[in-house]
Amino acid sequence: MKAAIFDLDGTLVDSAPDIALSMNRLLADHGAPPQAVSFVEGFIGEGARALVAKLFAALGVQTDDLDRDVATYIAYYRANPVAASKLYADAAPALQALHAAGIKLGVCTNKLQELAEIVLDHFGLLPLMSVVIGADTTPYTKPDPRPLLHAAQALGVEPHEVVYVGDTTIDRDCATAASIPYRIVNWGTGREVAVAAEARLSRFADLLPNPVAAD
């Protein structure tokens, strides 16, 4: 393995509380009641437009301008993207160790690139990333394999030389279509994704060439 590429929301960062807060502000604009973080979390992964459209549909919220509502949600989220978000597991020390070991690092997410970089910067991870691919970086979004392949190309590695780490069936299917090895994390929605045992990741340090045994 010469490189590791990560999904962001639900993989590196538990951003569901802040996403839910912004989504609930949008729901309030439509006179709809707020939803639990756990409910909103189930709609995260396909980008802002799918989040708003699918959550509205699930709740029976009517809209006469989805584009406007998506833009409003993004504005709410941009104003306060990391108030309650936290890093998952051992993300900070493990990614620093991977970087120090010469492993190239990147992010491929369906979050807008600007917002992804804001979140990564807040947690001190942005300087470790050689590439950040967001929903608007290329004309495509996951599970289309092209954003992930674009990230691998930007890192200067072949598909078989990189591992992709995610937490959804979208991430699994994207990596499979790109012929890139993948790992699905054991937290968040990752627990619900059907994968072989060897494709599971219980901590980021297990990506290291010689991982230290857990305490």
| Residues taking part in catalysis | 7
Using CB atoms within 10 Å of the CB of residue 68, give its burial: 0 to 12 exposed, 13 to 18 middle, 19+ buried. exposed
Distance of CA 104 to the CA centre of its chain: 18
DSSP 75: H
Cβ neighbour number for residue 208 with a 10 Å cutoff: 17
d(CA 67, CA 12): 28
Using CB atoms within 10 Å of the CB of residue 184, give its burial: 0 to 12 exposed, 13 to 18 middle, 19+ buried. buried
Q: Is 76 helix (H, G, I), strand (E, B) or coil?
A: helix
First to last CA, the chain: 25
In sequence order, what are the beta bridge partners of 136?
none
